């Protein structure tokens, strides 16, 4: 078995290279959206909120909390800010008026498309280069990293 805590091991170096690749790729993928958000006084959390509401119109606040895996307290301020900016609308659920359904306004949809559009283009170009098999492998790796299947 390889000792992953041995800084001199070849496997440790390979894993560090993977971590560095992830870091630099994430930085590249978020650079343009971060600049656009920064010009508006917004941050990545605002982008995540816009993204998930854009993909799931009519999402309830509780569903959004579960999807983002954040507390109500951490979601409240940025969600309220997006609503005040006219980027998100909240309407009472027809069946249960206590539930608030969230949708993007046309301006919110435009901003989300601008932010995520650049990211989608980066992924499209990369997946075009690595082909369908490489794309499938990437999805498999991301899924495994996101799941809580690895004890720490």
Q: Residue 47: which CATH number?
A: 1.10.10.10
pLDDT the model gives residue 45:
95
| Prediction pTM value | 0.87
User: Which of the 8 DSSP states describes residue 4?
Assistant: T
**pLDDT tens by residue, 48-93:** 999 999 999 999 999 999 999 999 999 999 999 999 999 999 999 9
For residue 39, is it within any domain? Answer: yes
- Domains contained in the chain, number: 1
CA 11 distance to own-chain centroid? 29
Nearest-5° Cα angle at 124, 119 to 128? 150
Per-residue pLDDT reduced to its tens digit, 118-146: 999 999 999 999 999 999 999 999 999 98
The domain in which residue 75 lies consists of 28-112
Per cent of the chain over pLDDT 70 is 93
40 in any annotated domain: yes
Residue 6 belongs to a domain: no
In a domain, 140, yes or no: no
Looking at the chain, the whole-number percentage of residues with pLDDT higher than 90 is 86
Distance CA 141, CA 82 (A): 33
């Amino acid at each position: 078995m390889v000792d992953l805590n041995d800084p001199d091991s070849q496997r440790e170096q390979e894993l560090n290279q993977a971590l560095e690749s992830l870091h630099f790729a994430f930085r590249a993928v978020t650079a343009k959206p971060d600049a656009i958000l920064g010009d508006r006084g917004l941050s990545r959390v605002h982008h995540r909120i816009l993204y998930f509401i854009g993909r799931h119109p009519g999402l309830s606040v509780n569903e959004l909390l579960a999807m983002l895996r954040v507390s109500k307290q951490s979601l409240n301020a940025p969600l309220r800010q997006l609503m005040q900016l006219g980027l998100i609308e909240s309407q009472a659920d027809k069946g249960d008026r206590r539930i608030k359904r969230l949708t993007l306004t046309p301006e919110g949809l435009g901003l989300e498309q601008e932010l995520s559009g650049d990211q989608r283009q980066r992924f499209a170009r990369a997946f075009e280069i690595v082909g369908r098999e490489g794309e499938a492998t990437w999805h498999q790796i991301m899924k495994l990293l996101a799941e809580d299947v690895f004890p720490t």
